[in-house]
Chain A
Amino acid sequence: MPEPSASGATPPASRSGPGRVLVAVYAIFALAATARAAVQIATRFEEAPLAYLLSALAGLIYIVATVGIARAGRTSHRVAVVACAVELAGVLAVGTASVFEPALFPDDTVWSRFGSGYLFIPLVLPVLGLLWLGHVNRRESRWAGQPPR
């Protein structure tokens, strides 16, 4: 099976190859986080408003990142980088806060204890996302003969 992107005949898309797997992981995670937050907010918002709102926000950022990585193009790429960076900052900040001040979060968020309730996927995913986006960036610059954006 020839790889069109490897031959240099067509511009490589961020969604092909390993990117395809990354988008699938992101999509399922975005769905899971958003759906869980929606149920929590709808059924017992008053128990832990901050935690549930944070989970909903996290879910939305995952959706933005999913779309950003899946779509080709300069703007989508930038949006995806920002979304992944916010995720990484979020999981580190909320993770640390939940370890040292557990009282802030009566119920778990996606980012609590660095995402331990989600097999630490929230901690790994933004790193993989940023690595992949950087890889795509370098590959595309090589193809276009332009400096990295």
Chain B
Amino acid sequence: MVEALTTTIEIASLLLAGWCLVSTVRDRSMGVGHLVAMALLELLLIGQVVVSTVLMVGGERPEETITFIAYLATVVLIPPACALWGLLERSRWGPAVIAFACLILPVMMVRLDQIWNPALA
């Protein structure tokens, strides 16, 4: 886990959540913009997986390695699953699903950080 990358994901995720909530309030369905932003967020998450994997192979691993890997795998699955689920809903509730996913991601990032470095918890 690289602190800068984790923070970037948290901020990007919250910004996207804000945008999607605005879309929900303004009664907009999901658009290309939402999808592109979601894809960028997913790329950042995949980057997190790659960096963490490299670190773990290099010997720096958290005490609860299995839990960490399980959380990381779940985190990567959330944006595509929610994007698909949101796309199926052609109303204001599509962006609402994405907003929910983007609010969960920072929580999951904090949790991952705590597992990686228990001293922070």
Interface residues of A (CB under 8 A from B): 1, 3, 16-18, 20-21, 23-25, 27-28, 31-32, 35-36, 39, 42-43, 119
Contact of B100 with A1 in the complex, beta carbons under 8 Å: no
Q: Which residue of B lies closest to A38 (CB)?
A: B70
Determine if B93 and A39 form an interchain contact, defined as CB atoms under 8 angstroms apart.
no
State the CA gap A16–B66 with chains docked (Å).
36
| B114 CB → nearest A CB, Å | 12
Contact A21–B97 (Cβ < 8 Å): yes
Closest to B98 in A: A24
Secondary structure call for the B interface: helix
Give the docked Cα–Cα distance between A119 and B100 (Å). 14
Give CA–CA (A23, B90) in the complex, Å.
Answer: 16
Give the residues in chain B near A27, CB-CB below 8 Å: 81
Counting chain B CB atoms within 10 Å of each CB, which of A21, A39, A42, A43 scores highest?
A: A21
Question: Which residues of A lie under 8 Å from residue B82 when comparing CB positions?
Answer: 24
Q: How far is the CB of A11 from chain B (nearest CB, A)?
A: 17
- Least CB distance from A4 to B in Å reads 10
Q: Hey, which chain A residues are within 8 Å of B117, CB to CB?
A: none
Do the beta carbons of A20 and B85 come within 8 Å of each other? yes
Q: Which residue on B lies nearest to A40, using beta carbons? A: B67
Q: Is B96 an interface residue (CB 8 A)?
A: yes
Q: Which residue of B lies closest to A19 (CB)?
A: B93
Which 3 A-B pairs rank lowest in CB-CB distance, beginning with the nearest? A20-B89, A24-B97, A21-B96
Distance in angstroms between the alpha carbons of A66 and B100 in the assembled complex: 16
B70 touches A20 (CB 8 A): no
B29 & A39 in contact (Cβ 8 Å cutoff): no
B74 touches A20 (CB 8 A): no
Residues of chain B within 8 A (CB-CB) of A43 are: 66
